[in-house]
A = this chain, B = another copy of it.
Amino acid sequence: MFARIDHIGVAVTDLDAALALYERDYDMTLVHRETVTEQGVEAVLLDLGENHVELLAPLSDDTPVGKFLARKGPGMHHVAYQTSDIVAELERLTIAGIQLIDTTPRIGIRGSSVAFLHPKSTGGVLTEIVQPAAGH
């Protein structure tokens, strides 16, 4: 069972230009910035109550987010639902017939455990399941 929306992921071409909007105009607090080489992104987390906004800038054009930007332009990329037990959740979703992109969790931003569900199974919504690292 999901506890809340953990974050929405937003694909951006220019991280600093996007931060002007989210930090200055929206008054959200930047809490983390990380280059996630294996996902090909530079990513930022902003706090918004118990939720976050994650901004994703591609490290190159041939990364998943780079290809997303080329195909669709900047905008919403995915939604992430939070759980306290990602392994149990993935097992439950598999039994429900949901197609998983990641059948086992991998390490996401800020030490979280993450897995993506396939948009074919989720009404076109790229959906991530997140178990935050202890303390987050």
CA of A98 to CA of B21, assembled, Å: 9
Contact among B2, B12, B98, B124 with A123 in the assembled complex (CB-CB below 8 Å): B12
Give the number of copies in the complex.
2
A49 within 8 A of B: yes
B residues less than 8 Å from A5 (CB atoms): 5, 8, 48-49, 51
B residues less than 8 Å from A28 (CB atoms): 2
CA of A76 to CA of B76, assembled, Å: 7
- Whether B74 lies near A123 (C-beta < 8 A) is yes
- Whether B48 lies near A4 (C-beta < 8 A) is yes
Contact among B2, B26, B81, B98 with A2 in the assembled complex (CB-CB below 8 Å): B26
Most buried by B among A10, A27, A78, A122: A122
CA of A71 to CA of B15, assembled, Å: 27
A93 within 8 A of B: yes
A: residues with CB less than 8 A from B are: 1-5, 8, 10, 12, 17-18, 21, 24-28, 48-51, 73-76, 78-79, 81, 93, 96-98, 119, 121-125
